[in-house]
Structure 1
Amino acid sequence: MSLAYTPVPICAIATAPGRGGVGVIRISGPGLLPMAQALTGGKTPRPRHALFTDFLAADGSPIDNGLLLYFPAPHSFTGEDVVELQGHGGPVVMKMLLARCVELGARLAEPGEFTKRAFLNDKLDLAQAESVADLIDAASETAARGALKSLKGAFSGEIHHLVDDLITLRMLVEATLDFPEEDIDFLEKADAVGQLHALQAQLRRVQATARQGAILREGMTVVLVGEPNVGKSSLMNALAGDEVAIVTDIAGTTRDTVREEIVVEGVPMHIIDTAGLRDTDDVVERIGIERTWQAVEKADAVLVLVDSRTTPGAAVEAILARLPARLPRVFVFNKIDLSGQSPGLAEGPGGARAVRLSARTQAGVSELKAQLLELIGYTGADEGVYLARERHLDAIRRAGQHLETAAGVWQQVELFAEELRLAQNALSEITGSFTPDDLLGVIFSRFCIGK
Structure 2
Amino acid sequence: MLARHHDPIAAIATAPGRGAVGIVRVSGHGLAPFVQALLGRALRPREAHYLPFPDAQGQPIDRGLALFFPAPHSYTGEDVLELQAHGGPVVLQLLLARCLEAAQGTAGAAGTAASVLPHLRLAAPGEFTERAFLNGKIDLAQAEAIADLIDASTAAAARSAGRSLSGAFSEEIHGLRDALVHLRMLVEATLDFPEEEIDFLRKADARGQLSKLQHMLATVMQRAQQGALLREGIKAVIAGQPNAGKSSLLNALAGAELAIVTPIAGTTRDKVQQTIQIEGVPLHVIDTAGLRDSSDEVEKIGIARAWEEIAAADAVLFLHDLTRQNQPDYVAADAAIAHTLAERLPPGVPVIDVWNKTDAAPGVQPGSAPGHEAVRLSARTGEGLDTLRHLLLEAAGWQPAAEGLYIARARHTEALRAVDAHLMEAAAQLESSGPALDLLAEELRLAQNALGAITGEFGADDLLGVIFSSFCIGK
TM-score by length of 2: 0.90
CA RMSD of aligned residues (A): 1.8
Matches within 5 A, 1:148-227: 148-227=162-241
- Structure 1 stretches of 4+ with a deviation exceeding 6 A read none
* 1:413-443 deviation digits (Å, cap 9, x = unpaired): 2222221111111111111111111111111
Does residue 398 of structure 2 align to residue 378 of structure 1?
A: yes
2:140 aligns with one of 126, 129, 143: 126
Query: Hey, what does 2:336 align to over in structure 1?
Result: 318
The 1:379/1:4 distance shift into structure 2, 3 A limit, reads farther
Matches within 5 A, 1:32-111: 32-40=31-39, 42-105=40-103, 106-111=120-125
CA distance in 2, matches of 1:233, 1:110: 43
Asked if structure 1 preserves the Cα contact closer than 8 Å seen for 2:357 and 2:379, the reply is: yes
1:416 aligns with one of 423, 440, 445: 440
CA distance in 1, matches of 2:428, 2:269: 57
Letter in 1 for 2:428: G
Name the SS for the 1:70 alignment partner: strand
CA distance in 2, matches of 1:180, 1:298: 51
- Residue 381 of structure 1, CA deviation: 5.8
- Residue 251 of structure 1, CA deviation: 2.5
- Residue 319 of structure 1, CA deviation: 2.2
Asked if structure 1 preserves the Cα contact closer than 8 Å seen for 2:5 and 2:131, the reply is: no
- Residue 378 of structure 1, CA deviation: 1.1
Higher alpha-carbon deviation: 346-355 or 419-428: 346-355
2:254 aligns with one of 224, 240, 255: 240
Query: Hey, what does 2:7 align to over in structure 1?
Result: 8
CA distance in 1, matches of 2:393, 2:35: 52
- Residue 294 of structure 1, CA deviation: 2.8
CA distance in 1, matches of 2:390, 2:168: 28
Letter in 2 for 1:427: L
Query: Hey, what does 1:289 align to over in structure 2?
Result: 303
Letter in 2 for 1:257: K
CA distance in 2, matches of 1:189, 1:8: 54
Query: Hey, what does 1:364 align to over in structure 2?
Result: 384
Name the SS for the 1:294 alignment partner: helix
- Residue 70 of structure 1, CA deviation: 0.7
CA distance in 1, matches of 2:375, 2:367: 8
CA distance in 1, matches of 2:124, 2:455: 22
**Alignment identity in percent?**
60
The 1:322/1:3 distance shift into structure 2, 3 A limit, reads farther
- Residue 315 of structure 1, CA deviation: 1.7
Asked if structure 2 preserves the Cα contact closer than 8 Å seen for 1:347 and 1:353, the reply is: no
Query: Hey, what does 2:462 align to over in structure 1?
Result: 438
Does residue 413 of structure 2 align to residue 393 of structure 1?
A: yes
Asked if structure 2 preserves the Cα contact closer than 8 Å seen for 1:342 and 1:356, the reply is: no
TM-score by length of 1: 0.95
- Residue 252 of structure 1, CA deviation: 2.5
CA distance in 2, matches of 1:286, 1:427: 46
Name the SS for the 2:85 alignment partner: strand
Does residue 361 of structure 2 align to residue 339 of structure 1?
A: yes
Asked if structure 1 preserves the Cα contact closer than 8 Å seen for 2:416 and 2:451, the reply is: yes
* 1:57-116 deviation digits (Å, cap 9, x = unpaired): 112122111111111100001000111111111111111111112223321111110110
Name the SS for the 1:198 alignment partner: helix
Is there any run of 5+ residues in structure 1 with no aligned partner, and where?
none
Query: Hey, what does 1:147 align to over in structure 2?
Result: 161
Does residue 129 of structure 2 align to residue 115 of structure 1?
A: yes
